[in-house]
Amino acid sequence: MLNQPLYPISIIGDSSTGKTSLIIQFTSSKFDEKMSATIGIDYFMEEVTCKDGNTYKIKIMDTAGQEQYHSMTLNMLKICKGILLVYSITDKDSFNNLESKWINEINDSVDVNNIPIVLIGNKKDLEDERVIEEQSAREFANKFNLKFLETSSKTGENVDLAFKELINEVVKSKNNVNKNEIKNENQNQNINNNININQTYILKLDNQKMYKKQKKKGC
């Protein structure tokens, strides 16, 4: 479709919480027990038909979650229209880092109150290893006014729902005056260029499987 809007969204959170696995499950309905670590920033394209009947191109920016990619992540957040913030229900640090690290990181780039964010507690299938109760995460989500879902990229439970929640919020807010856009208007072209340049430098590990493909999804 010509002039089809493109919405960049990003997925952030500690390493090994299952960010890449969530994207693979959403875009390809697959799960890999031996997922290779993400290097820098990677991206996936998807077409999603939303409740308003329109089809939107979504660029899902996947991040490594490591300190050395901090500035790349900050730049990426500036151009994103929505964020999936991920912790693992089996990893206390990944939950504790939501506020001490990731909310601060978002606030360094955009106003956390001014961008749609869905909080995801992943690895829901590992109930025996759970260390973060759903209620604690719900309280955290309420405090920051985030939508919240527990998911499993292994079984696929709630994965589509989490992405669709975010995409619907992004599309809903598209006609609103976006203060972040005004704030970053002059920087966006440069950032876009930088990210494209970075992508050419982000080499996948030789054994990393390629999952990039486009398909249509309903919202």
Q: Which residues bind ligand GDP (CB under 6 A)?
A: 15-21, 32-33, 35, 38, 65, 122-123, 125-126, 152-154
Q: Does 168 bind Mg ion (CB under 5 A)?
A: no
Q: Write out the DSSP string of the chain.
A: -TT--EEEEEEEESTTSSHHHHHHHHHHS---TTPPPP-SEEEEEEEEE-TTS-EEEEEEEEE---GGGHHHHHHHHHH-SEEEEEEETT-HHHHHHIIIIIIHHHHHHS-GGGS-EEEEEE-TT-GGG--S-HHHHHHHHHHTT-EEEE--TTT-TTHHHHHHHHHHHHHHGGGS--HHHHHHHHHHHHHHHHHHHHHHH-PPPTTPPP-----EEE-
Closest CB to ligand GDP among residues 47, 157? 157
- The answer to whether 21 contacts Mg ion (rule: CB under 5 A) is no
- Minimum CB separation of residue 20 from ligand GDP in Å reads 3
CB of residue 120 to ligand GDP, shortest distance in Å: 10
Nearest distance from residue 135's CB to Mg ion, in Å? 28
* 122 scored as a contact of Mg ion (CB under 5 A): no
What's the CA angle centered on 83, arms 77 and 85, to 5 degrees? Answer: 110
State the binding string over 139-158 for Mg ion (x if CB under 5 A, else -): --------------------
Q: Which is nearer to Mg ion, 153 or 168 (CB)?
A: 153
Residue whose structure tokens are 């992508």: 199
Choose which of 10, 25, 27, 38 interacts with Mg ion (CB under 5 A).
38
> In terms of CB distance, is 39 or 74 closer to Mg ion?
39
CB of 34 to ligand GDP, least distance (A): 6
Please choose, out of 1-9, 14-22, 122-130, 183-191, the segment that lies near Mg ion by the rule CB under 5 A.
Answer: 14-22
Per CB under 5 A, residues contacting Mg ion are 19-20, 38
